Structure 1
Amino acid sequence: MPGDRQARPKSATMRMFGAVLQALRRRAGVSRERLAEATQYSLDMICAVEQGRRQPSAKLIEAAEELLDGKGVLKEAAKHIVQNKFPDWFEEYAKYEAECHSLEIYQNHVIPGLFQTKEYALAVFRSERPLLDDEEIERGVAARMERQQLLTRTPPAVISAVLEQVILERWIGGREVMRGQMQRLLDLSKLRNVDIQIMPTRRETHAGLAGPLYVLETKDHERYVYFEGQKGVMLSGSKDVSDVSMRSAMLRSQALTPEDSVSLIKKVLGEL
C-alpha cells in the first residue's frame, strides 16, 4: 500500500535533531534509559527521536536540556525541524503519484489509501504497532486525504484497482466504518476515470501471490513500479516494469469485471 499502512516519517531535519540529542547525551555520560526516566518517556520513544523517526515534544526538549546541560542547543535545533508528510521511502512515489497519467493498483490487505474514507484511514493508523500518538495519526490521515486529490483533478488520472474480496470482509474500524467505506467504493466506481475490480477469494490460480503492487505512468509516459513491504521499493528498470505490468494485466483478467465487482460491493454493504 504505498502509504496505506503508516510508517513514521523521517526528515533530514529530524535526523539532525536526533544526532544533536545523541551527541549531547553521550557527552554528558547519560544513558538512553536514564534520559527516558528523566523525561518520563519510554525508551522506544527516546530511540525513535535519536534516530529521527519521531518528532520531539516540547516537554522532552525541556527535560533533555536540563538533564544534559544543553545550553539552548536542543531548543535551537528544534526550531528547524521540518516534518515530512511521508516516510523517506514513500516520498519519491508520492511525488510521481500526484502527477501521474495512469495508475494500476493491486492490494490484498486493506483498502488502498487513495480510496479510504477518513474514518477508515483513522482506524488503519490506530491499528499501527508500535502505537502512534494522536499528533502522528492526525498528520497521517491529513496527508492521506490530500493524496486523494488525484481522483478528481484535471486532467484526470486513469486509475484501475484490483482488490482482494477479503478486504471487503475485514471490518477495519467496525461495522459503521465499513458501511461508509463500502459506499465510498461505490461512489468511486461511478467516476469515469476509476475502475475497481474485486478478486474472488476462491480462485485456483492467482497472479498476485507476491503481494501488493503499483504500476505508475507519468505524463511523459515513463513507467515505474512500486512494491510494498515493511518499506516500499520503487523501480524503473525496463524488465521490472515489463514483468510487473504483465502481472497487473493478468490480475485484471482474473478479477471480476467492474460491473460484477459493483454488484459484490453492494451485496457486502447490504449485509453490514
Structure 2
Amino acid sequence: MTDPTRLAVWGDPIGHSRSPALHSTAYALLGLDWQYERRRVDEAAFPEALHGLDSTWRGLSLTMPLKEVAHATADEHDRHAALTGAVNTLLLGSTRRGFNTDVGGIVDAFTHAGVSTVGRARILGAGATAASALVALHELGADRIDVRARRPEAAERLRGIADALGVVLTVDAFTAPASDVDATIATLPSGTVLDDDVVTPIAAVGGTLFEAAYAPWPSALAARWPAQQVISGFEMLLYQAVRQIRIFRDGSQERPLPYEGVIVAAMRSRAMED
C-alpha cells in the first residue's frame, strides 16, 4: 500500500484556517486520495520545516507570515509571484515552483460578483495583500490607483509594481481628500476599525468594496459602506483555493478542474458549515 499524497496550509496563526475544509472537499470529489492538513509554522521555523518534508509531500499553501520567505525559497515563480514578491503556493518536487493565487482569487471574486471592469480604484492599507490587490486591479483594467495608508511611506514599495504594470499610483494618508473610484479594496488587518471622519468620505465615492477580511462578517468597514455592492474576502479565499487545487492537480492555475462549478459549490457549502 502506497503512502497517501500529503499537502498542508502553513502559517502563524493557523487554527482559524478554512483551507483544510475547502481543499479536502475538492479532493474527495476529484477522487484523489490526498490528505490536507494545517500546521503552525512561523518564519524562523519555515526553512527547517520545509527541509523535513519527504517525497509524499506534493505542495503547500502559505499564509501570513510566510509568503515572502516562500518566495525566496522557490526555484521558479509564476508571473504574479514575480510581480508581488509573494508566494502563497509551493508545488514541491525536484524543482520548487512558487505561485501567487491571491491575485487571481481577487479577480475571480470581482468577476463572479458581476464586476468585470474597473477604471479607477483605491487600496486601503499597504501590507502584503496590497501588492496582490494592485496587480488584480490592473488585470481588471484599472490604470489609476490611489493607495491610502496610516503611514504613506510604507506604500512606497508598491511603486515598483505600478511602474512595471504602467499604472499611475498615488499614495496618501487616510484623511486626504478622495476622488471617485469604481472599486475599493480594503487590505487592512481583520478587526481594524477606522474613524468615521476617515470612512465617510472614502465610502461616499468608493464604488464597489472588496473587503479582504471575512471573519467576523460583516467587517466594521463593510457594515458602514453605502448601498453599493460589497464583496467579502471569503470569495478570494474560495477562488484562490480553487486555483491552488488546479496547481496541485495539474501544475497550472489557469486550467479549470473537471466539473469545476460543482466542486466550487460544494467547497462553498462545506466552508459555510464551519
Q: TM-score normalised by the shorter chain: which range applies?
A: under 0.3
> Which structure has the larger Rg over C-alpha atoms?
1
The structure in which a higher percent of residues are helix is 1
TM-score (norm 1): 0.27
Higher relative contact order (CA 8 A, sep 6+): 1
